């Protein structure tokens, strides 16, 4: 790790260069916190550091200021920053520094008894990096916040304006719970839409303020584990959270989803590793959650992620697209052993896609067993747009060049809502060895054998190992199926390399070029053609079948 003393040197050099050209030198300082040697009356210098975080929260911070916490120490409390504004050139930085007798890299904020480990409210151009945060129970010491929510890091607005340019980098957030150890959730809690009780969250961005915009938000290379609800969550209104980047994070054992986005405009979510969402290892956890899901979002690319072992009696897919979304592209992801399934596109979604993904043994949940109230599904389109609302859509969904493997012991369920309008399913490998069934949509009261069917469905040119896997009662059929064994090297293993087909003659150049659905003027805004496969190999000539080019 780079020595944090370089922060101060860099700022000095910057100011010297600025002054040489006649610029105005801003007032900027490094403030230090060390609970081992700090005192209440200290000035916050390296030699005389602050004792705790309360001193920092009272500072009037300027662009270029840094708040540096002593690595290897545990600092109890909450770091609260309100109306702090850096600049693009001189952000305010919160990080760790390495003392002379310390070899550890990060300081730890222990927010037990506080609402948040770190709170940024109405802030812009702030960078937080290289810190540990934990907050395991303890009631509420900061009684002004009565939300009943505890966060490792919370970024929020409370007034009109435009805020953002926030970067969270290389943070470790672990063991965040609102309730004390031993607290037992009610049995019905997991049936509620997002939970109704008090929870701990890893990182949250919330913009519920009228006429406020929160934008340019980055979370990268963070490690989040063992929190009672969601690992990383964005909550906006009318897409007033904009341009988010979430990449390179490791998220595991969350009681709720790993990643969740509501009312966000513009997102790039890539290279994250999400495992065991919906975890039940602690009685304080919610116990339900997909690896990732979007709601009310527009213009997202979700790629090169791994979604593993999602658990829960409902939802809990690897990655699902909840209702009221547009232009959500799920591509180049590896999805395995997720109870709820692989492909889930709900109502009033427009021009969304799953392409060039690999799915292994997803959708194994059986309704009625172990409290499950939804079937797991390999492929599910639903018109659900909220309880008691008339169902509609989804519209113009594109599902192509995915590789899907399900072992013989698992039952694979499919559900296509009659309200579906525009659905393309092509160039996929369905290596499904067990039973396949058509099930009702779990959120759709219509009988599964009624005559009404989805409209404008293009189902063609998919590879099936044992005949057409789509149940006859689904009322859609592949017009030109391909039958055969792709001959995977070691099917069932959680390693994408084991799903490289060896049956070259069956796979190579057997795909179709994907075109817009009839009557759809858009297709996918980023384009229907792809230049590379799951591994980054170029797509040449005709596409191959499945997610991997040979």
3-state secondary structure 375-414: CCEEEEECCCCCCCCCCCCCEEEEEECCEEEECCCCCEEE
151-159: average pLDDT: 98
Statement: residue 1 has pLDDT above 60? no
Q: Which pLDDT score, from 0 to 100, does residue 140 have?
A: 76
464-486: average pLDDT: 87
226: tokens are 């063992």
Statement: residue 330 has pLDDT above 50? yes
Please give the torsion angle defined by the CA atoms of residues 121, 122, 127 and 133, in that order, rounded to the nearest 10 degrees.
Answer: 10
Q: Can you tell me the distance from the alpha carbon of 340 to that of 362, in angstroms, rounded to the nearest whole number?
A: 7
> If pLDDT is split at 50, 70 and 90, which confidence band does 441 have?
low
Contacts of 519 (CB under 8 A, 6+ apart): 422, 456
397-409: average pLDDT: 97
Q: Which pLDDT score, from 0 to 100, does residue 10 have?
A: 43
At 8 the three-state DSSP class reads helix
Statement: residue 2 has pLDDT above 50? no
Q: Can you tell me the distance from the alpha carbon of 405 to that of 358, in angstroms, rounded to the nearest whole number?
A: 8
36: tokens are 């081992």
Statement: residue 103 has pLDDT above 70? no
Q: Which pLDDT score, from 0 to 100, does residue 142 have?
A: 63
Q: Which pLDDT score, from 0 to 100, does residue 541 have?
A: 84
At 417 the three-state DSSP class reads coil
423: tokens are 């659905």
- Most confident range (mean pLDDT) of 6-10, 13-17, 119-123 is 119-123
219-226: average pLDDT: 98
Q: Which pLDDT score, from 0 to 100, does residue 13 have?
A: 40
Q: Can you tell me the distance from the alpha carbon of 218 to that of 212, in angstroms, rounded to the nearest whole number?
A: 18
Domain segments of the chain: what residues? 353-550
Q: Which pLDDT score, from 0 to 100, does residue 479 have?
A: 79
Q: Any bridge partners for residue 358, and if so which?
A: 334, 403
Q: Which pLDDT score, from 0 to 100, does residue 463 have?
A: 97
Percentage of residues in the chain having pLDDT higher than 70: 91
At 538 the three-state DSSP class reads strand
185: tokens are 């959730």
Position of tokens 């959120």?
443
Closest among 76, 63, 62, 85 to 33, alpha carbons compared? 76
Q: Which pLDDT score, from 0 to 100, does residue 235 have?
A: 98
Q: 196 or 467, which is more confident?
A: 196
Position of tokens 């919160």?
94
Contacts of 342 (CB under 8 A, 6+ apart): 317, 318, 335, 354, 357, 359, 362, 363, 377, 378, 379, 402, 404
Q: Which pLDDT score, from 0 to 100, does residue 445 have?
A: 55
User: What separation in angstroms does the CA of 503 have from each of 12, 41, 68, 163, 500?
Assistant: 63, 74, 57, 54, 9
Statement: residue 133 has pLDDT above 50? yes
pTM of structure: 0.93
Q: What angle do CA 114, 202, 30 make, to 5 degrees?
A: 70
Q: Which pLDDT score, from 0 to 100, does residue 475 have?
A: 81
How buried is residue 512: exposed, middle or buried, by Cβ count under 10 Å (0-12/13-18/19+)?
Answer: middle
Mean pLDDT of the chain: 92
Q: Any bridge partners for residue 121, and if so which?
A: 82, 156
Contact 383, 423 (CB under 8 A): no
């Amino acid at each position: 790790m780079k020595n944090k003393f370089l922060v101060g040197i860099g700022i000095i050099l910057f100011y010297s260069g600025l002054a040489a050209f006649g610029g105005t030198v801003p007032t900027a300082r490094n403030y230090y916190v060390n609970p081992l040697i700090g005192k209440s009356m200290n000035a916050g210098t390296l030699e005389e550091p602050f004792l705790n975080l309360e001193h920092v929260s009272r500072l009037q911070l300027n662009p270029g200021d840094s708040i540096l916490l002593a690595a290897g120490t545990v600092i109890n409390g909450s770091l609260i920053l309100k109306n702090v504004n850096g600049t693009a050139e001189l952000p305010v930085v919160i990080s760790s520094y390495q003392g002379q007798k310390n070899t550890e890299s990060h300081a730890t904020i222990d927010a037990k008894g506080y609402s948040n480990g770190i709170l940024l409210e109405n802030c812009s151009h702030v960078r937080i990096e290289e810190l540990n945060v934990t907050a395991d129970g303890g009631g509420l010491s900061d009684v002004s916040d009565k939300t009943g929510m505890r966060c490792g890091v919370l970024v929020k607005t409370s007034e009109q304006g435009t805020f953002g340019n926030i970067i969270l980098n290389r943070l470790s957030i672990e063991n965040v719970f609102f309730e004390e150890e031993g607290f037992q959730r009610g049995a019905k809690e997991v049936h509620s839409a997002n939970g109704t009780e008090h929870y701990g969250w890893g990182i949250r961005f919330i913009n519920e303020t009228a006429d406020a915009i929160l934008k340019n938000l980055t979370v990268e290379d963070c490690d989040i584990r063992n929190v009672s609800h969601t690992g990383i969550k964005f909550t906006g209104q009318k897409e007033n959270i904009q341009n988010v980047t979430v990449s390179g994070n490791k998220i595991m054992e969350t009681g709720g989803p790993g990643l969740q986005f509501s009312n966000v405009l513009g997102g790039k979510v890539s290279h994250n590793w999400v495992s065991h969402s919906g975890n039940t290892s602690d009685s304080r956890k919610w116990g339900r959650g997909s690896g990732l899901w979007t709601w009310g979002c527009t213009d997202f690319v979700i790629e090169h992620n791994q979604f593993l072992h999602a658990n829960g009696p409902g939802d809990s897919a690897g990655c699902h697209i909840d209702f009221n979304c547009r232009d959500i592209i799920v591509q180049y992801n590896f999805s395995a052993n997720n109870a709820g399934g692989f492909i889930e596109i709900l109502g009033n979604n427009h021009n969304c896609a799953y392409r060039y993904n690999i799915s292994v043994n997803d959708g194994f949940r059986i309704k009625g067993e172990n409290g499950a109230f939804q079937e797991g599904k390999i492929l599910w389109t639903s018109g659900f747009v909220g309880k008691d609302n008339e169902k509609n859509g989804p519209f113009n969904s594109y599902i192509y060049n995915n590789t899907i493997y399900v072992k013989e012991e698992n039952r694979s369920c499919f559900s296509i809502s009659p309200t579906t309008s525009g659905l393309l399913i092509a160039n996929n490998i369905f290596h499904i060895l067990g039973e396949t069934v058509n099930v009702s949509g779990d959120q759709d009261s219509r009988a599964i054998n009624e005559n009404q069917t989805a409209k404008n469905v293009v189902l063609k040119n998919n590879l099936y190992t044992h005949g057409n896997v789509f149940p006859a009662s689904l009322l859609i059929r592949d017009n030109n199926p391909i039958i055969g064994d792709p001959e995977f090297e070691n099917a069932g293993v959680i390693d994408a390399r084991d799903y490289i087909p060896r049956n070259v003659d069956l796979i190579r150049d057997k795909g179709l070029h994907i075109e817009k659905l009839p009557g759809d003027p858009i297709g996918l805004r980023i384009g229907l053609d792809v230049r590379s496969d799951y591994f980054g190999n170029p797509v040449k000539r005709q596409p191959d079948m499945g997610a991997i080019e040979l």
